[in-house]
Structure 1
Amino acid sequence: MAGTGDIALKMASDDYPTRRKEAARWLRKTVGVVVAKDLPAEPSEEDFLQGLRSGMILCNLVNKLQPGAIPKVVEAPSAVFNEPDAEALSAYYENIRNFLVAVEDLGLPTFDFDDLEEGGDFSKVVDCLLALKSFSDWKKLGGSGSRKFSGSKSSPSAKSFNRRNSEPSMTPLSRTQSVGSDKSFDTLDQSGNASDANEESDSGPLFTIVCDLLEDKEEEDIPIIVENILNKLTEEFENRLVKRIQRVSLVTSHGLSTTETPRTLSEAIKEQERLAREEQERLEREEQERIAREEQERLRKQQEEEERAAREEQERIKRHKELLEERERLRKMKKEDRERAKREQQERIKREKELRAQEKAARKEEERMAKEQELRNTLSTAKIGVQSMQKDYLEEADNLGKQVRSVCQAAAGYKKVLEENRKLYNQVQDLKGNIRVYCRIRPFLPGQENCVTSVDYIDDDTVTVIVPSKSGREGRKASMFTKVFGPSATQEDVFADTQPLIRSVLDGFNVCIFAYGQTGSGKTYTLTGPSDLTPETMGVNYRALKDLFLISEERKDDMSYEISVNMLEIYNDEVRDLLVTDGIEIRNGAQKGMNVPDANLVPVTSTDEVVNLMNLSKKNRAVSSTDTHDSGSRSHSFLTVHVFGKDLTTGTKIRGCMHLVDLAGSEKIDDSEDEAAHVSKSLSAFGDVMVALALKSSKVNYKSCKLTQLLQDALGGQAKILVFVHVHPDLDEALETVNTLKFIERFSTVEGGAGKSGEVRELKEQIALLKAALAKKEAGEGQSQELRTSASLQELSTNSPRKGDLEDDSIDDSDDNAGKAKNPSAKQPAQSPAAKKAAAGAAAPKVAKQQTAVDSKKKKGK
């Protein structure tokens, strides 16, 4: 009764949703998320009902708690996503029935089939799940203690569960006995101990205890309790019998001498044992008879209950079958209605299509007739218009013919003027010098700002360097160039004088740009720039290519250009293709102006493509360490740009080449490795060819080395040559710098394609030396220095000394002046720019006189 009250109270309470969620969480945790995939973590009552409706989750739950309780779980489609048919519903009910039977066998509260349908009492299902949860917790505790299931109701199946679980391990102190029976057994033990003094005690108290013990017990529990009482009584009787034997033995040990006493005791003991056995047999027979009667009664009631349950089950199955049949009938009716509606819809659509087709055909016929009439009218009008237009076109064609003839004449004149402009432009470049020699002085690198420089004086076209001697005295050497770029010159400044030559390449001329100097003087930096390129630090190569593509794009309406490049290297007098790293041979007079026809010629359309090829060539170029530079190049590298142009109007074809040559380091053989012998030989041959070109010699020996042989077509004829001479600023490299300047002096005096007179060159060199001397002596010499300078100028204007004599005099003069300094042993540093400017200003009148003399001699020579 108490259990029923608890259930009613819980059903009426507000925590029912909480208990439902608790049951759902425990159910998902026990059977696993995969098995409980149809059951949400916190389901509503409808979701819970749909998830459990198939019975598969419930059967898996019972098998988890009691393995093998349900041998077969019928597989059925989920009721959540599918409308179950008759076969699926049959599987559902078989699973639910197996689950309810298993729960009844466990002695737990159950529910009805209708509770899983809409309108059923779903709280019974929740109570059943919570009872299973309590059963699971009880099993985890080892099955000890009393089993109390919250929210469960008393049922015969629950009691039979207790009995079946107690039978395999039945003992006098069985785990199924209640607390009351334990207390009764304690009372029996106490009464047994109290009656130890009186063996013939009355059995009245025992009967009272048994009646009290069985008073509030269920009928099914009485056989178990009686069995426990009998076991306890037997045990107590045996204990008393043992105690009596012990007392008899004690009396015998105290000297009982009569022979009848033992016999009396022995007979009494035997009589007592016989009576006890008879009593025990009688009680056992009565107990067995009572148990048999109770078992028959229980079986009868159980059979009646099973028959009643079977009838109810059959009625429920019958009702569900009727419900399934009704649902199937309704489903078929709905299906027929849908099919009928679908057929009607299709027929209506078909009729509408036919109607639209008829209307469309009628409209097309009307449109056809209208268009036919319109075409007739148009044809008539067109005939009249064509006749009129034919007359007009004949007149216009005659006028256009006259205009075209005049335009052709004008175009021919324009082409002629354009060609003359190109020739004049390149003639201007020739007047500037077919061979131009630029000098660039490398600045000190970071960390070298405090080093002593070998450059003594710089102006627009002159460089004066300090010449150390073995005696410790310093001399001066001046060299003249087309233009001089100081340490502060930018890459853009250097390219500004190179840029006009790019247009000449597109006009069909050959252009060669060389970078010459010792290793570490900045040749590669001038041509390509640093490793990390920026728009400001890009070298001549990148800027020339960019300008080349820009001009070709501007001329695309008049000229069509095809631009391709190849990259070669001469290392140890062997020609290598930097794009394929294979050895190749030079063949002069080859087709398309290529002396190396086997070289890999790659067409390009943008500067970026050329940059990628240059990066590839850098990896293949021969680089090694020298005494002067850790990674100096020991080879001559060539970037050759081939331009093939075609005039879109006249069809005239032109071809031009631009060679960008990074020469190997020019240091002496004694100062580097053996491979420098090949470098020195090729540079010497290059100098001879340049001298021959400067002197307009009829015979030029191009075949003395691979370097000049490769550039034979590019250097001859109307080729335009530009040489960048690089000067190392460090005083320790002064001797190499002097050697570099002496090498360049062999051909640096060419202007406008003709050699300068040696006298003019020497005079300009002496002017540069005098300027440097004046700037140096400005602070200490005063008027005496001015007189000496004036005398030197006067002597120079009357006698033009030989170059060697003048150099010796300047060196001696410098040595004498150095000896007059306060510290004779110390080297004189280069003058600051301000001091040099002041010295140049002081010497300006004298220089003007000298320049006048030079100009007069030029006129006489002409």
Structure 2
Amino acid sequence: MNSSSDYHKNENGGTPSSSVPANGDIFGRVVNGNGETEGKRRAYLVEWLNSLLPDLGLPVTASDEDLRSCLIDGTILCRILNRLRPGSVDENSVPTSENVARFLAAVNALGVPRFDMSDLEKGSMKNVIDCLLTLRSRPMPNLVADGLSVFSPTANCSDLSSRRDLSSRGFCSPLSVEERQKVLSESKFQRALRSPVMSEPSAGLMHHVGHKFHELDYLLLQNAPTQRVACLLRKVVQEIERRISTQAEHLRTQNNLFKAREEKYQSRIRVLEALASGTNEESELFRSHILQQMKNEKSKMEEKKKTDDEDVIRLKKEKEHCYLEISGLKQELIITKKTYICVACKWKQKRKVKELEENSESKHHWTKKELVYHKFMDFQLGSLKELRLSSVSIKQEILKAERSYTNEFDHLGVKLQALADAAENYHSLLTENRKLFNELQDLKGNIRVYCRIRPFLPGQKEKRTLVEHIGDNGELVVADRSKPGKDGHRLFKFNKVYGSDATQGEVYTDTQPLIRSVLDGYNVCIFAYGQTGSGKTYTMSGPNNATQENWGVNYRALNDLFDISQQRKSSLMYEIGVQMVEIYNEQVRDLLSSDGTPKKYPSQITKCASNALLENLSFAP
């Protein structure tokens, strides 16, 4: 395998390589090889996002649309990248497109397969999921408390050569001995970590491998095909190789960080050189401070070296244990294959015996069915003869019923003719009734004048009333107390006078018959006139927030107009429209007009069309 070749390269001092790409393609192949669907890959991504950003709170069963709505503004994408690589992108409040563009630029710089903006907006989420899962599989450097990155143990020899160059320049400083010891200790540590054992699987890898082995045992117990078991074993080995290559990539990253730290030490040496030319006291204080800091860092590095040595020993043991388990599984696989061949032979024999038994039973079953069908056919022939006899009798009954129905239809035609004659007489009587009703209204007078006495308003005194007498036939006597004798009384004659206690319904009683005349084709005009405050608006419209009992003449007339039209809709169809005007100081204002400006046209007030509509006014059907 490629992992063994990488092992030899590392021992010879070569650059570690891996057969597994760092962009996460192997992860996609392993997932698809196990038969997982896109839904499982999406759930795997959601679990990782929730663990990385605990405040996200995405459900495991989130759909593509839920994931799209969460990532569409680009803020979550920038937060993910900053958690993996702090300071990679800014998380300022910027437009959505700029956030996503920053994330894509950073991902492109890392060499991770990117996606397009159209995929995140309305396209397939497959490319977005692949990009995030690839980013999840890439190793990222962590940060420590003192602000320095954790360095890789695979630093190359160029770092040490730079230190030797500094010594050859003739730099005389009390830190030279300490620096050499530091370089030597780091070189030993690098040689220990450069061993290929550092790229061995960790405890998490062993847990993953153990899970794969349990899955393999389950498949063996279910008599699964040996090819699938072998394929699963091959995937386990590939997963181990991928983890090893990932660890090697992580070590290379730490190597680069070691270089950065060495450059920091070199900058400190330059500062010390500059300080050496100053006063001796200041130089001594600064040197002691730097020496103490270097000693502290040296002790930290020695402790880290011990921990890393222990990790190397543990990883070696884990690797040996893993190889032993793989060899044991290979032996079990061979034994299982032999057992499977024996079981397959026995199963084929049992299947042949079962097929022969089924054929025998099927033949016996069809013989029984044949006898049943013969009996059934005999029964059906007898039933058919009976049906023929019944058919003859039914035909005779149908002929009798046809004769009786013909006689009944003749009688029904005579009755319908009588009903048609009666209906024709009804329509003629209805027309005559309407004519007589409207003639009666004409006899009552084409112009009728009614007078309504307004009651006293709150705060007014009854002794100030001018009404002396209200007659039953429309007489009204008004007294003018400023004039003496007969000149102080005046008599008026109306069609009817309503007292101050008359209700809205009583006032409308004499007007109601005219609404029927409107629907019979006659023109009717109802209006109220009088001085300001005499109660015209109350009589015609009613009070504010009026109930049905307090409706004025206008509302009651319109209500009766629609009621009568609904009653006659079976015989007549009416079209009702409205014009609304206001006449004040010889100005006509169209209240239904869109502009609402008053216009003067006095000639159109008296000139009306044949349909009783004012000209040049808005009409609302």
TM-score scaled by structure 2? 0.41
Is the strand fraction higher in 1 or 2?
1
**Structure ranking higher in helix proportion:** 2
Greater C-alpha Rg = 1
